[in-house]
Amino acid sequence: MNQRLERRLGTNDAVVVGLGAMLGAGVFAAFAPAARAAGGWLPVALAVAAVVAWCNATSSARLAAILPSSGGTYVYGRERLGPFWGYLAGWAFVVGKTASCAAMALTFAAYAAPGFERPAAVAAVLALTALNYLGVQRSIAATRVIVAVVIVVLAAVIAAAAGHGTTGALRPDAPFSLPGVLQAAGLLFFAFAGYARIATLGEEVREPARTIPRAIFIALGSVLVLYAATALAVLSVLGPDRLAAATAPLAEAATAAGAGWLVPAVRAGAAVAALGALLVLILGVSRTGFAMARDGHLPAVLDRVQRAELAVGLVVAVLVATTDLRGAIGFSSFGVLLYYAIANASAWTLGRRAVPVLGLAGCLALAFSLPWTSITAGAGVVLAGAAIYAVRAGRLSAPGSR
């Protein structure tokens, strides 16, 4: 018997889910690799990522208003494009975001427990899985606290940089490189992608046709303003070269701005941010896995949310205990961009096609501008998922299979 989820979440709750997913380790770590790709043109790359995210948010909001079910683009692709495209979106989301869960856990441990990263990461995954298992309302209450802490830390770094003054580092130091800017935008997109978590909670939101679009735009707009201010702050005190080489960009920016007393708070904020992202990622991945299991695309044992949460937590715990996922951002970005490409293609079927076309083109351009290792790994996993679908479909259509 399929489980029906209660509609308990209002607009504020849904906004907190989106903020918790976006204000994660990305803002503490993604600026450095993006600066290596774009140099002083980092703000332009951030703007490109924001435009693609806005297109995706618009398409997702339109689809969520008419299809308010758990699963997000997995449901949209299935209903608007056909079962295969829905499955492919769900597959890309679950696989990519499971890797993101592991990356967030390892990021938390790197800041909070140097030298004991793997045990600390496993403990964090198991603790947050247990919290999710107790109920979505408890998870959102914890996320609300985490979001507040991260915003305070980022605001302190921005204020310190503003007090220090600029050094001319905001002027681009090299000729404009479109490939470099697109690659940086693809890496930065990783930090924007959290608003999808709002749509994956479609069956648990009150008045979804009104609440989901409103929550998505509030969360995305708030994060864009905060990211832009943070990017300008770290560039102004570090410059593109130092930023590109930084291992802890915000902590180093605080030190360079003469606010070394902020560094412990920044490190604590990074750890808390990673925990917040991990908490909401487990929530979102488990909901998509639940929806796919309910439709027979994943094992039937996952057709209850609590079981899906436990399964996601256990898989992530195994990954962080056995695998080095430092390259997970690029891999996850490829999967998430494919996921949103399918969302935009689904929204194209609703009419008013300019935004979905721009979003689809933007997703594909950013996905294939990522480092080749990310493209190769991501494409391999997507093809493996397509092969599994084809084998399963062949078995179901074979004589005597029913």
Beta bridge partners of 9: 205
Query: What is the distance between the alpha carbons of residues 291 and 16, in angstroms, rounded to a whole number?
Result: 22
Is residue 44 pLDDT above 60, yes or no?
yes
Residue 93 lies in a domain: yes
How do residues 111-147 score in pLDDT, each as one tens digit?
A: 778 778 889 989 988 888 887 776 655 556 766 777 8
Query: What residues make up the domain containing 121?
Result: 11-390
How do residues 26-40 score in pLDDT, each as one tens digit?
A: 788 788 889 989 988
Residue 402 lies in a domain: no
Structure tokens at 388: 């599994």
Residue 30 lies in a domain: yes
Residue 2 lies in a domain: no
State the pLDDT at residue 139. 58
CA gyration radius for the chain?
A: 20
Residues 344, 356: contact at Cβ < 8 Å? yes
Residue 6 lies in a domain: no
Residue 37 lies in a domain: yes
Query: CATH number of the domain that 169 lies in?
Result: 1.20.1740.10
Is residue 401 pLDDT above 80, yes or no?
no
Query: What is the distance between the alpha carbons of residues 149 and 9, in angstroms, rounded to a whole number?
Result: 22
Structure tokens at 9: 């979440």
* 58 vs 366, more confident: 366
State the pLDDT at residue 64. 78
Q: Single out the residue of 1, 8, 5, 10 nearest to residue 214, CA to CA.
A: 10
User: Given pLDDT bands bounded at 50, 70 and 90, which one contains residue 1?
Assistant: very low
* 12 vs 253, more confident: 253
Please state, for a pLDDT cut of 70, what percent of the chain lies above it. 86
Residue 4 lies in a domain: no
Residue 55 lies in a domain: yes
How do residues 321-348 score in pLDDT, each as one tens digit?
A: 877 655 677 888 899 899 999 999 999 9
How do residues 199-238 score in pLDDT, each as one tens digit?
A: 666 667 777 777 877 888 888 889 889 999 999 999 989 9
State the pLDDT at residue 178. 94
Q: How many domains is the chain partitioned into structurally?
A: 1
